[in-house]
Each structure stands twice: as structure tokens, then as C-alpha cells.
Amino acid sequence: MTEDIQILKEIEKAAALCEKQYTREDIFCVLNTPSTDCPDIDVEKQICILKLDTINSQQEADLLVFHQTNHHGLIREACSQKINEFMKKADICVFFQTKEIHDTLLKAANDINPNICRAIIEILPYVNDKNYLLDKLYKRFDEVFEELEKLKRSNWYTKKLFNLYWCLEALHALNPPYDKRIENVLSKTSKFKDYTIREKTAMVLSALVYSSEVLNNIKSALKTDDNFYVRRYSRDF
């Protein structure tokens, strides 16, 4: 009963914050408040982020992106929605073009929450320096492959497999130019036992406008894959 009362109080508090009118100064004042100084501020931060209607400076963009990682899940998801919204606007997107922000975006693309992964990966094409992102992404692939090799007999293996899944989604979103590294990545992912990894491999291949002997061999193997969802993409090879 006590727990139910506490939940009701939290719902009432959240509802009151939703109805509260915030100025831009109020919003950034809340976002500048460390969660360690005010443990109950996470819900208010989430609401303030969702109420944010634009970004007017690099400092504001940096503060928003700061909350995209290493914060409560509610805050991270709200951030991903707003970053997705803002980066699709040319006049605001310019504030999201620093290497520090791009590093955070790639980290967020591997969030434990799939809604965050989708929202962030969707706006990766709006990054100007895609070569920087791709260099970082290929390094991330190497890390994930190494981690998966170590975790083969561990309960953490499946969890780490999701990282590989979202890395492939990010690779597809960035529409990478030809590179030996893409051959290396897809050669490995095309042989994974988990069909979702092979499916995403086929998805990446189906969107490429170039080919090579290595890539053609991968395509040939996937065309005869046992799984329907993998073969579905192979029709576009």
C-alpha cells in the first residue's frame, strides 16, 4: 500500500511538471543542475528536454548532448527524440557537428534502449564528417568482434550481440563508400549463427552501389541462406 501511494505521488508530481510553464532560462537552469545535487531532478530534466523547442548556440547543443549518455533512461530517450528532431533542421543541425558530439552519437547508437538506438541512427546521415564516424564505427566493430569472441560461453553473449546488430544498422544508415574494412566486417557478420545479424548484413549489402569479389561471394552465400528474412534482402543484390 505504501508503495502504491508513493507511485501515485510520483505520477502527480510528473503531471504537475508537465503542466508547468518553463522559459528557456528555466529549462537550461534545470539541465545545468547536477543530478547528484538533486536526486529527484531526473523527471524534471526529461520534461524540460521534451519542452525544448529549438537550439540557439553550440553551448546549448553541447548541454543537450551531454545528457544523451550516462544519465537515467528517461533522460536519454528524451534527448534522442530531441536530437533527432533538431538535426533534421538545417539551421539547427550546424550545432551538432563537433567531433565530441559525434562520439556521443555513436555511443548512443549502442544504447541498451532500442528506441534510443533507432532515433540516433536515423540522424547519422545528417552528420557532415561521415568519414570520421565511419572510422570510429569500424573500430567499434573490431571491439565488438573481440568482445563476442571472449563471451562465447557467457550469458553476456546475447547482450553483446545487440551491439553488433545496431552497429550494422549504423553502417547501413551511413551508406559507406567502398573500403576493405567493410569487406572484413561483412565477411564476419554474414557467418553469424544468429539470423538477425545475417539479415542486417544482407540489408547493408542490398544498399551498396558498388561491389567486389569478396562482396559478391558474401552475396552468393546469403542468397541461399536458410532464413527467409535474410533471403528477403538478397533479392535486391
Same-domain check for residues 197 and 152: yes
Same-domain check for residues 124 and 234: no
Task: Report the 10 Å Cβ neighbour count for 158.
Answer: 10
Same-domain check for residues 177 and 122: no
Which amino acid is located at 72 in the chain?
H
Same-domain check for residues 92 and 191: no
Number of domains in the chain: 2
Amino acid 155: pLDDT: 79
What's the CATH code of the domain at 159? 1.20.930
Same-domain check for residues 108 and 50: yes
Cα torsion angle, 162, 156, 78, 5, sign:
positive
Same-domain check for residues 169 and 233: yes
Same-domain check for residues 187 and 135: yes
Same-domain check for residues 154 and 108: no
Same-domain check for residues 172 and 70: no
Amino acid 15: pLDDT: 57
Q: How far apart are CA 15 and CA 97, in angstroms?
A: 35
Same-domain check for residues 20 and 117: yes
Q: How far apart are CA 21 and CA 15, in angstroms?
A: 12
State the burial class of residue 3 (Cβ atoms within 10 Å of its Cβ: 0-12, 13-18, 19+): exposed
Residue 130 near residue 99 (C-beta atoms within 8 A)? no
Which amino acid is located at 114 in the chain?
P
Closest by CA to 64, choosing from 79, 51, 77, is 79
Summarised one tens digit per residue, pLDDT across range 86-115 is: 999 999 999 999 999 999 999 999 999 999
Q: What is the pTM of this model?
A: 0.90
Q: Which residues contact 142 (CB under 8 A, 6 or more apart)?
A: none
Give the range of the structural domain holding residue 178, as residue numbers without chain letter.
129-237
pLDDT over 70 at 11, yes or no: no
Summarised one tens digit per residue, pLDDT across range 148-206 is: 998 887 778 888 999 999 999 999 999 999 999 999 999 999 999 999 999 999 999 99
Amino acid 3: pLDDT: 55
- On average, the pLDDT of the chain sits at 91
